[in-house]
Amino acid sequence: MHPWNEPTLHAFAARRDRLPHAILIHGPRGVGKLALAERAAQMLLCEGASKPCDQCDACRWFKAGNHPDFRRVEPEALWPQAEVDEDAPAKRAKQPSIEIKVDQVRELAHFLYIRSHRGALRVALVHPAEDMNENAANALLKGLEEPPAAAVFILVSHRPAQLLPTIRSRCVAFPVGIPPREAALAWLSAQGLVDAPRWLAYAGGAPLRAFDYAARGRVDLVPVGDRESLEPLAEALQKLAIDKALLAFGLPAKYQTTGGQPPSAREWLAFARRMGEDRLLCRHPLNPRLFSAAMLAAMPSEGREGFGAA
């Protein structure tokens, strides 16, 4: 777990014996919410004197990924490749699903309504919770409305506003914010990241995203040929547009993608808004080259000289 989230884990630990049946850990991407949720789950399942002790059988099983009273529900696209291959021996003709499906939630219900293997809690972690499709969300809601005994749901969300209001209302929320800049830079430096301040700015202050961006490298403003590259391109264009608009207002660039002072903020704000909409479309089955070319063609002509930050 990351050091800036330790106070939140201590808050969990202080309430361990009176935690609600459903917890919602939410905040921006790249701030360590999933690692915090995993540590909280381990704490709930730990059988040692200190929580979590990292030494008892329960902690060892959890770290090995085979604790019998823990289940993790994620979109198929986030599964390790070995799991995908195990569940689908024949080579897939289509991309792994980016949604959490209703069958996954129904399987979770079967797990939660049987007796605990260790005679204690059963813990279900759903990540990212907003990726549940409508049927899956409704199925989970039934479990939250009539929670099984000795079971805890931990939901992790990057965009909690996209969850059903009835799901949010049945969870106790634990927000996780952007860590202090000094703590984020110290962590990035410890990972050996070069030019950490620049990448952290591009990530909006989220250190895990900064590390991921640095690993992927520069995003070139050219049409792309695969779906995985679409959203990073749309995100890069949106950040460039926001920086251009801020500079046009005489303000410093937030993401450090560009310099100079563009003549018009209105065009760049409109383009940033469009890129926000296009980012939502990038997950759909589109022709990547045509869609990316359309995004680039919509850019104000003054900004086509290149992209300098990522």
In this predicted structure, what is the pLDDT of residue 309? 43
Residue 20 lies inside a defined structural domain of this protein: yes
In this predicted structure, what is the pLDDT of residue 193? 92
In this predicted structure, what is the pLDDT of residue 303? 57
Residues of the chain with pLDDT under 50: 82, 84-85, 91-92, 306-310
The answer to whether residues 37 and 170 belong to one domain is yes
Torsion angle (degrees, nearest 10) of CA 126, 127, 130, 134: -50
Give residue 97's region: left, alpha or beta (phi > 0; psi -120 to 50): beta
Residue 164 lies inside a defined structural domain of this protein: yes
The answer to whether residues 165 and 103 belong to one domain is yes
Residue 200 lies inside a defined structural domain of this protein: no
Residue 270 lies inside a defined structural domain of this protein: yes
The answer to whether residues 24 and 148 belong to one domain is yes
- Sequence-separated (6 or more) residues with CB below 8 Å from residue 218: 307, 310
Indicate the pTM of the whole model. Answer: 0.85
- Sequence-separated (6 or more) residues with CB below 8 Å from residue 290: none
The answer to whether residues 257 and 167 belong to one domain is no
Residue 52 sits at φ, ψ, to 5 deg, of: -80, 150
Domain of residue 224 covers 218-303
For residues 148-167, one letter each, b for 16 or more C-beta atoms within 10 angstroms of the residue's C-beta and e for the rest, the string is eeebbbbbbbbebeebbeeb
Residue 213 lies inside a defined structural domain of this protein: no
Residue 302 sits at φ, ψ, to 5 deg, of: -65, -20
In this predicted structure, what is the pLDDT of residue 286? 84
Residue 264 lies inside a defined structural domain of this protein: yes
Residue 158 lies inside a defined structural domain of this protein: yes
